[in-house]
Structure 1
Amino acid sequence: MAPNGSVGFRDSPLEPGIFLDEDLGSDWYIYESTESAPHDDLFPDAIPECHPTISPQLYHTVMAPLSLAVLLALSFLVKRRRLHLSCWNGVPGLLSPGNLLEQDGQRAVAAAVLALLCSELCRLLLDPDPLPLLPHPRCHRAEFWKVLALLYFPALYLPLLACAGPRHRLGYAAGTLLAWGHCGAQVWHRAQCPLAPKIHQLYSLLSHVPALLSLSLLSLWYPAQLLRSLRNGDSPEPRISGKSYYRKYLKALLSKRDRKGSSVKIDESLGSRIRSYLLSYIYIPEEGFRIPLKLVVSVTVAVIAVYQVAVLLLVAVVPALRIIRAGMTKDVVVLLVQFGLVPSQGAAVPGDLEQELRTARHFLWALEVCYICSLVLCCLLTCAMLLRSLGMHRSNLRALYQGAVLDVFSKAHILRPSRESLVCWMAFSSFQAAFACLGLLIQQVIFFLCFVAFTFLVVIPLQLGTSSPLFGIIRNMWPFWLTLVVAVLVQHLLAHFQFLEQHSLQKEITNRRALYIVTFLLFPTNVMVGSMAAVWRMVISGLYNAVHFCRLDISLLHRGVETFDPGYRTYCHYLRVEVSQCHPLLKAFCFLLLQPGRPEPPAPPRDTQLEEGLQLMHPKPPAPGRARSRRIRARWWVAYTLLHNPSLTASRKTALTDPAANGAQLGVPRP
């Protein structure tokens, strides 16, 4: 130690005779460094705590009782007219948050409310005050209050979705009041306190964007429905939900279309194949088919969850990298040069470390670029997989509607609801959001490491003109790589020209003795080739599973053990419930049965003077052609509906379960 109390690095080979006193040592703390003073806006602690006019506690204290009052008032609005007609003109009924098993539900409202709830859940996990109704919940049992908050927020936002159920002007008015109250409080809070010291100054604003968009949509939708109801009157709830969709589906299925595009194109260009492959990841709506409401909600919630996780990953890492880059000093560069993390230019004193300092900051900037690029790529891949799952779900539903169970499942299943199916159906949307979030985290780690490895092993050495360890390995091991390439090429050439003889209709193995000799001689070389193939198998399996982790319609396990995949098992049971309860042909058949029949014209008067035999032989008037065709078409619809209903397969006779007897597909399982 020096006499003045400073620490000297006299024996350092890089900086002999350099002393770091207390003033120089204080520069290690970037928060006290004068060089990083212009970057104080990057520190979350520099943001003062904001106290808005409408505090979160006041907001929840007002909106929670109001939501409960609206829920109770609307419960008396929903009538059950078959019970106690003299009491309250029908007993009160419970409000339902949308018909999730039907096709007539308000898709925009359901998606907006579930997106709002998902945003609140994502912020709830990081919020020290999970229940704003309580004064200071963070002091005691914060985990217990978070569990209660998981039940509080769904109950708070339930009336926003339930107000659309009665399809009454009072429900629309209540929904307008609640939507305007929630949206006004949120917008006023964000306007007064756009920045927050938690995690990052912009995290609070960015995380509230989905909630603000959802509340804005509800604030516009409910007033529009209220004005429409006041102008046209209340539309009574239909007896059969989604009857217009089921009729359109049946008409589109029974309509005659020209099969012009059924011919297979043999000479298809590479560009058209690439275009068709890319279009398979874009869901294009088709006439006569509508994605179920539950799946629309699931995809919406998954996208919101991916956005929330991406924002959290962005604001938690990128500002920290910028702080480190801004606070990088020459003394830090000395340590980086000593550890070999920054290439040295031969500088001996800190005053000559300008080039090393620029190089270190360039490395940190490269890390930031790699992180942002990997995060953007992961978000795009996750959204592409979610869109691809919509197309796969449509194909699976159509196959199950036709009874082709083996085209979807590996084993024959009876499409009936069960206890496990109902549990999986209820949890499907939540599972989709959770799998999407975890898949995004896994992809971010893998692709960030890949980007960093490529940047620091290939790009930066080419920029600096220095040698890369990767280039050195490739240069030193070129005989090994050349041997592997030559061995693979020789085996392919010998297999094509010497060991395979092609006849007119088939191919036969020839020169078997030479084949055995070459196999024995190339055994050690093929071991090396197999090692490279094993590494490639591990890489491609990890990338494939990481990219497809968010998809529940495919299993990441082998078909024999795919039942151990909880995501795929949930999806399979979800399909069973959807097909058994929402089969469009069965719904259309029920609608035809419940449709009121037309009154028949009175029968013509009978002549009582004729004998009884002549009365029996009296010919009936021929039915008009239009009525006859309509009757034939209706009977054909009923026959087609009953024939292709998989839920009736187990109730048929043994002779009718034969595919040749009833024209069913080969994929229909026998009971």
Structure 2
Amino acid sequence: MSSAAGNQTSSGATEDYSYGSWYIDEPQDSQELQPEGIVPSCHPSVPPGLLHTSLAVLSVVVLLLLALLVRCRQLWPHGGHSRSGLPSPMDFLTMDGPWTVPAAVFMVLFSSLCLLPSAEAPLPFLTLSSPSSRDGKTEAPRGPWKMLALLYYPAFYYSLAACATVRHAAAHLLGSVLSWAHFGVQVWQKAECPQEPKIYKYYSLLASMPLLLGLGFLSLWYPVQLVRSFSHRTGAGLERLQSSYPEEYLRTLLCPKKLRSSSHTSKHGFLSQAWICFRHYIYTPQRGFRLPLTLVLSATLTGTAIYQVALLLLVGVVPTIQKVRAGITTDVSYLLAGFGIVLSEDRQEVVELVKYHLWALEVCYISALVLSCSLTFLMLTRSLVTHRANLQALHRGAALDLGPPPQSPHPSRQAIFCWMNFSAYQTAFSCLGLLTQQIIFFLGTVALAFLVFMPVLHGSNLLLLQSLGSLWPFWLTLALAVTLQNMAAHWVFLKTHHGWPELTNRCALYAATFLLFPINVLVGVMVAIWRVVLSALYNAVHLGQMDLSLLPPRAATLDPGYRTYCNFLKIEVNQSHPAMIAFCTLLLRTQKPQPHPAPQDGLRLGMEEEGMQLLQINDPVAKGTGPRARQGRARWGLTYTLLHNPALQTFRKRALSGARANGTQP
């Protein structure tokens, strides 16, 4: 009985073991196994919502302290000019302020907005009050919160930008604390959870690189300014007496001889011609001119948009293609056979062919993305050259062809609205242009690769070439018709008498036009198709540019992007004309005499005339003409420049509103 019981026990144990062996891969103790390639959700030590709430409270406290500081500077004697209690985030129309801080803040803001679609909650602090689901994850309501986040994040980074506009040591100290807090929180979150399951495991980390770069720059810039404010506190009174950009611009404008002599020292060889051509198409800094802050911000945002859109297009498609290529098995031969496609009798060879075609598809996609990013970046640099040329022309008083109706130099409600939206429109156009170029170039590269290059390389599936070869009479007829007409137009219907071309053999011209009409209709069909393709490519490449219209000149005003650009130039020239700013600064200095600085500063405020301080001429030839000639030339150049300034036309007398350069009336 014992043996029987033992046999029964052993058999039962064997059955239990065999029964349990069927589920040996199942998780034990209610533990779930993550599928291969799936990134598990990360649980940081401190909830992100708590950190974000702390930063929001700190930003509000810093903003209140900045408002109190600005208010105290108003009440103190000699505290500066009158300003509102709430500091502005940045001076968009300033000419001498730093452009690095606004560019960094806008880059941080745009990068934060780009991370919204992949975030668990549109507003991070909502995760603190949202109920927990059964699997332990927090759920935050979406929908209208996404639209609210578009207004929340600019207010969230308002204090970070406003610390730079107060220009006080206390403001720099607050900016240092706030930038360190933002940068530390971001680094802490990315170090604890570098991978996320959405889109791509490293997408959040890669998309946060511009954000970390901007915050890292601000965390270094504010402490440097704080140290400089303490070290140069004794020389703060002389800061306003130093040369500014408007004075430098006017000095460069009124002293062109020195620049011309230095620019013509090199010989006009091949390298110099290449450099001139390079400077004509690629933006390079130019002495005596600075781009407005809004254009600098637009260029920064466009570069950030190119990075963000290219990263999303790359990580959203390429890893998927790689996973599909790695998971191809011999079953794909049956799938293709169901559609009537038989690549080979050997299944393993079919697998290799499918993997090869998927690899070619991946190469086409990456090549199209590289081409799209390169063209968008080149169009951006080309736009900066156009912006500089247009601004310089408007500063000189020239009239640009900005549309059929006459363009008034005075500001308007539409012009102010367009000026406010210019940077945002430029960013949106760049994103949409890059996406459109990617689609067009990807389809084009796939068609070339699978219909031309790969069939020619392997010598099989020459469907396109065979179809084109079967239509050789059609293409030969069109080619002959076009060639013969061009040759006849050059040798038969056109002759030169006494150096002037004349039309001859009109009877033969009329006969050829009548006889070749049907063939020319077919040629016209091909030209129309090419016209559509060329227009689509041109508009896709230049979609991100706002300095040119995608419509004909007669309908240029119907292009919203081009109309926004024209009104943007109007406001910039009207409110930020460097000659006008320099002239007004000179008037303020002459009306409010200040103590004379040290002789090494080179500024004699009590002895300057109109434009004399701006014209610090070191040219011995110019000095030899005498002080009266230099004074007259300076006054005449300044008068001519200010005469064409749109910002001063409103305050000018009616008799001088249309004055010419030589003083005569129209």
Is 2:585 aligned against 1:591? yes
Tell me which residue corresponds to 2:574: 580
8 Å contact from structure 1 (residues 406, 412) kept in 2:
no
Q: Deviations over 1:198-235 (max 9, x none)?
A: 11101111111100111111111111111111222287
Equivalent in the alignment of 1:26? none
Query: How far apart, CA to CA, are the structure 1 residues paired with 2:572 and 2:338?
Result: 64
Instruction: Give the Cα separation in 2 of the matches to 1:451 and 1:262.
Output: 44
**Which of 534, 538, 544 is the aligned partner of 1:540?**
534
One-letter amino acid of the counterpart of residue 210, structure 1: P
Structural mapping, 1:133-144, within 5 Å: 133-135=125-127, 136=130, 141-144=141-144
Show the counterpart of 1:11: none
- Pairing 1:491–2:485 present: yes
Bigger CA drift: 462-471 or 582-591? 462-471
Structure 1 contact 169–230 (Cα < 8 Å) conserved: yes
Task: Give 1:110-259 correspondences, 5 Å limit.
Answer: 110-135=102-127, 136=130, 141-233=141-233, 244-257=244-257
1:377 to 371, 376, 400: 371
- Please say if 1:462 is aligned against 2:456: yes
Query: Which range moves more in the overlay, 466-475 or 58-67?
Result: 466-475
Given that 1:124 and 1:130 are in contact with CA atoms closer than 8 Å, whether structure 2 keeps it comes out as yes
Q: Give the drift of 1:277.
A: 5.2
Give the aligned partner of residue 343 of structure 2: 344
Distance 1:275 1:468, change over 3 A: farther
Letter in 1 for 2:658: T
Could you tell me which amino acid in structure 1 is paired with residue 512 of structure 2? V
Cα distance in 2 for partners of 1:89, 1:517 equals 83
Is 1:78 matched with 2:79? Answer: no
Equivalents in 2 of 1:274, 1:268: separation in Å? Answer: 9
Give the aligned residue type for 1:204.
Answer: S
Residue in structure 1 matching 2:545, options 540, 551, 556:
551
Partner of 1:620: none
SS in structure 2 of the partner of residue 368 of structure 1: helix
Aligned to 1:445: 439
Deviation at 1:167, TM superposition (A): 1.4
Please name the residue that 1:531 is paired with: 525
Which residue identity is paired with 2:454?
A: I
Could you say what secondary structure the match of 1:508 adopts? strand
- Counterpart amino acid of residue 64 in structure 1: A
Give, in angstroms, the shift of residue 168 of structure 1.
1.2
Deviation at 1:409, TM superposition (A): 4.5
How far 1:106 sits from its partner (Å)? Answer: 1.8
The offset of 1:647, in angstroms, is 3.7
CA contact (8 A) 1:102 1:241 kept: no
User: 1:97 and 2:96 equivalent?
Assistant: no
Question: Aligned letter for 1:588?
Answer: A
Stretch of structure 1 that moved more, 55-64 or 132-141 = 132-141
Which amino acid in the other structure matches residue 119 of structure 2?
Answer: D
Equivalent position of 1:422 in the other structure? 416
Change (3 A) 1:195 1:173: same
Moved more, 446-455 or 648-657: 648-657
RMSD, aligned α-carbons: 3.3
Shift of 1:527: 0.9
In the aligned structure 2, how far is the partner of 1:141 from the partner of 1:563?
Answer: 42
Residue identity in the other structure for 1:500: L
Work out which of the residue numbers 475, 478, 482 in structure 1 matches 2:472: 478
1:62 aligns with 2:61: no
Provide the C-alpha distance between the structure 2 equivalents of 1:241 and 1:113, rounded to a whole number of angstroms. 29
Output one character per residue of 1:528-549: Cα deviation in whole Å (capped at 9) or x when no partner. Answer: 1111111111111000000100
Q: Output the CA distance in 2 between the equivalents of 1:84 and 1:381.
A: 54
Q: 1:39-90, CA deviations, whole angstroms, 9 ceiling, x for partnerless residues?
A: 976x3xx211112223311211111111110111011112476669699999
1:515 aligns with 2:516: no
User: Matches of 1:89 and 1:475 in 2, distance apart?
Assistant: 80
The 2-side partners of 1:238 and 1:564 are apart by 50
Q: Is the 8 Å Cα contact of residues 574 and 645 (structure 2) preserved in structure 1?
A: no
**1:16 is matched with which residue?**
none
2:495 matches 1:501: yes
Q: What is the CA–CA distance in structure 1 between the aligned matches of 2:558 and 2:118, rounded to whole Å?
A: 32
2:568 aligned with 1:567, yes or no?
no
CA contact (8 A) 1:649 1:657 kept: no
Cα contact 1:552–1:568 (8 A) shared by 2: yes
Q: Which deviations, in whole Å up to 9, do the C-alpha atoms of 1:295-353 show, x marking residues without a partner?
A: 10111112112211111111111111111111112112222244255x522x1xxxx31
State whether residues 110 and 161 of structure 1, in contact with CA within 8 Å, keep that contact through their aligned partners in structure 2. yes
Name the structure 2 match of 1:434. 428
CA distance in 1, matches of 2:237, 2:565: 31
1:372 positional shift: 0.9
The whole-number CA distance in structure 2 between the counterparts of 1:457 and 1:563 is 42
Call closer, same or farther: CA 1:364–1:285 in 2, change over 3 Å: same
TM-score by length of 2: 0.82
Find the counterpart in structure 1 of residue 303 from structure 2: 303
Deviation at 1:92, TM superposition (A): 6.8
Cα pair distance change 1:234/1:272, threshold 3 Å:
closer
The equivalent of 1:395 in structure 2 is 389
SS in 2 for 1:78: helix
Distance, in Å, in 2 between the alignment partners of 1:88 and 1:551 is 41
The 10-residue stretch of structure 1 (80-89 or 179-188) with the greater mean CA deviation from structure 2: 80-89
1:504-532 deviation digits (Å, cap 9, x = unpaired): 23211010000000111111111111111
Deviation at 1:128, TM superposition (A): 3.5
Q: Bigger shift: 459-468 or 529-538?
A: 459-468
The TM-score with structure 1 as length reference comes to: 0.82
1:537-594 deviations in whole A, cap 9, x for unaligned? 1111000000100001111011121222111111111111100000111111111111
Name the stretch that deviates more: 106-115 or 305-314. Answer: 305-314
| Shift in CA distance, 296/234, structure 1 to aligned 2, threshold 3 Å | farther
Aligned residues: 592
Aligned pairs for 1:230-379 (under 5 A) are 230-233=230-233, 244-257=244-257, 279-339=279-339, 344-345=343-344, 347=345, 352-379=346-373
Taking a change above 3 Å as real, the CA distance of residues 366 and 499 of structure 1, as seen in their structure-2 partners, is same
| C-alpha contact (below 8 Å) 2:51/2:185 kept by paired residues | yes
User: What secondary structure is seen at the aligned counterpart in 1 of 2:284?
Assistant: coil
Listed as ranges, the matches of 1:650-669 within 5 Å are 651=652, 653=654, 657=658, 659=660, 661-662=662-663
Structure 1: runs of 5+ lacking an equivalent: 1-38, 601-624, 665-669
Residue 463 of structure 1 and its aligned partner are, at CA, apart by: 2.7
Distance in 2 (CA, whole Å) between partners of 1:338 and 1:242 is 80
Change (3 A) 1:389 1:663: farther
CA separation in 2, counterparts of 1:662 and 1:90? 39
- Quick one: which amino acid aligns to residue 636 of structure 1? W
Larger deviation, residues 298-307 vs 508-517: 298-307
Cα separation, 1, equivalents of 2:187 and 2:634: 55
Q: Is the 8 A contact 1:283 1:391 kept in 2?
A: yes
The answer (yes or no) to whether the contact 1:386–1:551 under 8 Å persists in 2 is yes
Query: What residue number does 1:617 align with?
Result: none
Specify the alignment match of 1:109 in structure 2.
101
Which residue in the other structure is 2:28 paired with? none
Q: What is the CA-CA distance between 1:94 and the residue it aligns to?
A: 1.5
Structure 1: how far apart are the matches of 2:589 and 2:79?
30
Deviations 1:412-453 (CA, angstroms, capped at 9, x unpaired): 312111111111111111111111111111111100000100
Residue pair 2:199, 2:316 contacting (<8 A) in 1 also? yes
What is the distance in 1 between the residues matched to 2:262 and 2:420?
40
Q: Distance in 2 between matches of 1:663 and 1:237?
A: 44
Asked whether the equivalents of residues 166 and 237 of structure 1 are also in contact (C-alpha less than 8 Å), the reply is no
